[in-house]
Structures are given as structure tokens and as C-alpha cells.
Amino acid sequence: MEKNGFMKALKCRECGREYPLAATHVCEFDFGPLEVAYDYERIQTALTRETIGTRPQTMWRYRELLPVAGEPTVGRQVGFTPLVKADRLARELGIRELYVKNDAVNYPTLSFKDRVVSVALSRSVEMGFKTVACASTGNLANSVAANAAAAGLDAYVFIPHDLEQGKVVNSLVYGANVVGIKGHYDEVNRLCAEIAGKYGWAFVNVNMRPYYAEGSKSMGFEIQEQLGWHVPEHTVVCMASGSLLTKIHKSYQEFTKLGIVPKTPWKIHGAQATGCSPITTAQKSGLDFFKPVKPNTIAKSLAIGTPADGFYALRVMKETGGSGEDVSDDEIRDGIRLLAETEGIFAETAGGVTVGVAKKLIAQGKIPRDSSAVLCITGNGLKTIEAMSGHVGETREIRPSLREFEVLLSQDKPELVSQQGR
């Protein structure tokens, strides 16, 4: 293995200037975002379906396409979550074939953020950092806190002060330093940019962002492998910064370019909550640029009003012929319930956004009824209980008596009780 593994440089997405593989994320000339560039010629010989197949079932089976120089050291068990064939949900939504990529059960903190964090922290350790940090809407804080604890790193996580209880406790339990900022995510992010510059910590989604973002590709690599080495016709992805959507697209491009999957067309669709929909609003108006918004939605994990990769997410939707759509808080809850009742999967609010948007796009014909689609479910419902409590029916309480149970049952199924009773 060479000094930098299969990475060549950091490269500006705007002007193409190359930079050393350091903890830096913007181009000095035009402030364009930096992205990891790889040596695809060497990867082509190193990474084949066969080599992938011999490796453990984790996201690291695609390691040549992930930005670490040596062996990963943090989050080595992350990924390879189930791709569930969702026939009952398909029937409800009226589409021929449907799959759910279920990162609600990603290891160890039950969201797709474990993918980006395992890459960012492995790279941080490699570069000699002792303190890691992040600006988060919740799930990222959970994952940085847990993975830093397991790696023996000091962690500072910054979150909006009004997050769901589950997400706050899920960061504190690992002993991380949790800082609640009295403001929304975009203000948290601005503060973190200042702190990163001053203290030189590894901020996974600020100065380490080029490495961090690449971790999202693993969700797309897994989808292709789990479909039998095929790119799905349609993929629906929920968006906060828009990074995950662009990286799923990149994973399809890379496997196609390397000949790991056959060249077939694909469309990538973006999903947001109506209360924070800068990207889908721009997409629906046919604009290349979004207008920043002040978020107001129960989908707090997606509540980024100034999305860092919004521009590139719009471009991916446009280039692939995909669409954008958004859903109200009630539609988010309907989406969560529908996924739970048809497939037995309890997603967080972001998953409700994905399901609700898929339903709309199928009804509008933007995802044709005779096609095949993958829905990316990115987080677990147990972390956003507040969003559903009071909206899921109620427990009926009785004393431990057969008679009381039969009174209850006779309300539901009188024929059952009268057959038995005398």
C-alpha cells in the first residue's frame, strides 16, 4: 500500500485545483468544496466483485473507494444493513417493485451517520488527531459520541438546544461533551467553523468534510451489491445538507465506471420536509440555486436551512432526470405509520419524509408504476418518539381478569367471544 492508499489528492469541485490530503475543505481561490480524488486505475485491478465477496459484510468491503490510507481503525463493523424487498408497501404505493435500504438498524447508533463517522474518525486517527467534534442535527452527534468513546478519543458535539430527548441522551451516555446552542443548525454550523479554525480539532463535517462525505457512498455500494450487482432504476433519498444524495449518485457512477455493475440508467429523487425544503422548492421551480430558509418541521434531523451540498444535489437530480418533492408534518407521520404497518420498520421522521415523498412521486407518475425503486431509510424511530406519541392509538388497560379481557375483545370481535362464551 502506498502512503495515501488509493487516494490521490483533495480536488476543488469548481476549478479542479488539487490540494494535499490534509484536514481542509475549501478551495482558497473560489471557496469551492474539496473532494477526495482517487487513483481509479489501481482501484480497477484491486477491487472486483470477487474480492468484495471474500470480505466481511461491513461497509469496509469497498475500502479502496473509501478515503483512508491504511486499515480502518474506527467503526470497523459499520454497514451492510438489510435491503428489504418491501412487497406490502409496494402494493400500498402502487408500484411494481420496491426495496427499503434499512439504515434504521445501522451499527452502532441506528442511523446512516455511522457510515460517515467511521470514515471521518478512522481518517482523523490516521492524521494524529486526539479530539474530534461535529455540528449536528442529532444523529451525527450520537455517532461521533459513540465511535469516539470506542476509539478512546475526546469528543465535543454541538447541537441545537431543542433536539429530541432521545438524541440528547444518546450523545450524553457515551461521555461526550455535549454543547446545546441556542439557535438553529445553521448557527451551530457557523460557530463550529470558527472553533475548528481556532482549536484545530477534527470537525468531522467541517475541516474533515471531504473524507466524512465519502462514507455515504457505502450505502449506495451496498444497494448495488444487494440488488445482485445492479443500479436501481429509481432511488429516493431524504436531504439535509444534500450530501448523502450526491454520494449515492457517485457510488453508482464509480461502480459503473469500474465495470463492477453494468451501465444502466438511473434517476435519483430528493425528499425534504415542507417546513425545511430549500432544495426541493428550487427543484420544483426549475432553479439551479436554492434560497435559504428558517426551518420549522418535526423532521429535525433534516432541518438545515442553508444546505452545504444543495447546489450539487440539484445538479444530480437534473442530470439523472430525478425529481424533488416535500411533505407536511402530518404526511411525515403517515409515512412513518405506513412503513411500520406494512414492513415492520419503525423509522424516524426522516424516514417518514422519504416514504411520504415516494408516495407522492408514484402518484404523480414521476416514478412510474411499472418500475423498481429503492427507498433510503436513514434513521430509527425510537430516537424521535415525540413525533409519534399521541398519533399511534392508545394502550387499553384492564385488570388481570379473563372476564375484562373478553369485554374488551367483544368490542373488537364479538363473533369470537360469543362462540366461546356461555
The reply on whether position 139 binds ligand PLP by CB under 6 A is yes
**What's the first-to-final CA gap in the chain, in angstroms?**
79
C-alpha span between 383 and 156 (Å, rounded): 20
C-alpha span between 248 and 411 (Å, rounded): 49
Cα distances from 343 to residues 83, 126, 316, 381, in angstroms, run: 12, 40, 29, 14
Pairing of the two strands 83-85 and 97-102: antiparallel
Measured from the CB atom, the residue of 29 and 199 that comes closer to Zn ion is 29
Q: Write down the least CB distance from residue 386 to ligand PLP, Å.
A: 15
Q: Write down the least CB distance from residue 271 to ligand PLP, Å.
A: 9
Query: Binders of ligand PLP among 304-343, rule CB under 6 A?
Result: none
Measured from the CB atom, the residue of 108 and 368 that comes closer to ligand PLP is 108
Measured from the CB atom, the residue of 300 and 360 that comes closer to ligand PLP is 300
Among 8, 24, 32, 43, binds Zn ion (CB under 5 A): 32
Measured from the CB atom, the residue of 26 and 69 that comes closer to Zn ion is 26
Helix axes 243-257, 310-320, angle to 10 degrees: 50
Interaction mask 110-129, ligand PLP, x per CB under 6 A: -x-x----------------
Among 147, 170, 241, 251, binds ligand PLP (CB under 6 A): 241
CA 225, 221, 268, 357: dihedral to nearest 10 degrees? 80
Omega before 108 within 30 of 0, i.e. cis: yes
How many other C-beta atoms are found inside a 10 Å radius of the C-beta of residue 359?
23
The reply on whether position 239 binds ligand PLP by CB under 6 A is yes
DSSP string of 152-206, one letter each residue: T-EEEEEEETT--HHHHHHHHTTT-EEEEESS-HHHHHHHHHHHHHHH--EETTT
CA 285 distance to own-chain centroid: 25
Among 243, 272, 274, 297, binds ligand PLP (CB under 6 A): 243
Measured from the CB atom, the residue of 21 and 163 that comes closer to Zn ion is 21
The reply on whether position 319 binds Zn ion by CB under 5 A is no
The reply on whether position 355 binds ligand PLP by CB under 6 A is no
**Which window, 32-40, 171-179, 199-207, 289-297, contacts Zn ion (CB under 5 A)?**
32-40
Measured from the CB atom, the residue of 14 and 71 that comes closer to Zn ion is 14
The reply on whether position 404 binds Zn ion by CB under 5 A is no
Which residue's C-alpha cell is 475541516? 207
The reply on whether position 238 binds ligand PLP by CB under 6 A is yes
The reply on whether position 350 binds ligand PLP by CB under 6 A is yes
The binder of 30, among Zn ion, ligand PLP, none, by C-beta within 5 to 8 A per type, is: Zn ion
**Which window, 150-158, 168-176, 242-250, 400-408, contacts ligand PLP (CB under 6 A)?**
242-250
Query: Binders of Zn ion among 87-116, rule CB under 5 A?
Result: none
C-alpha span between 214 and 116 (Å, rounded): 7
Q: What residues contact 333, with CB distance under 8 A and at least 6 apart? A: 298, 352, 387, 388, 391
Size of the site for ligand PLP (CB under 6 A): 16
Measured from the CB atom, the residue of 208 and 260 that comes closer to ligand PLP is 208
Amino acid at site 393: G
Among 66, 236, 240, 248, binds ligand PLP (CB under 6 A): 240
Burial environment of residue 259 by CB neighbours within 10 A (0 to 12, 13 to 18, 19 or more): exposed
Size of the site for Zn ion (CB under 5 A): 8
The reply on whether position 15 binds Zn ion by CB under 5 A is yes
Q: Write down the least CB distance from residue 205 to ligand PLP, Å.
A: 8
The reply on whether position 178 binds ligand PLP by CB under 6 A is no
Among 10, 12, 120, 144, binds Zn ion (CB under 5 A): 12
Using alpha carbons, select from 283, 365, 291, 350 the residue that is nearest to residue 317. 283
The reply on whether position 379 binds ligand PLP by CB under 6 A is yes
Q: Write down the least CB distance from residue 12 to Zn ion, Å.
A: 3
C-alpha span between 273 and 271 (Å, rounded): 7
DSSP code of residue 32: P
φ, ψ for residue 51 (rounded to 5)?
Answer: -65, -40
Amino acid at site 123: R
Binding site for ligand PLP (CB under 6 A): 111, 113, 139, 238-244, 301-302, 348, 350, 378-379
Binding site for Zn ion (CB under 5 A): 12, 14-15, 17, 27, 29-30, 32
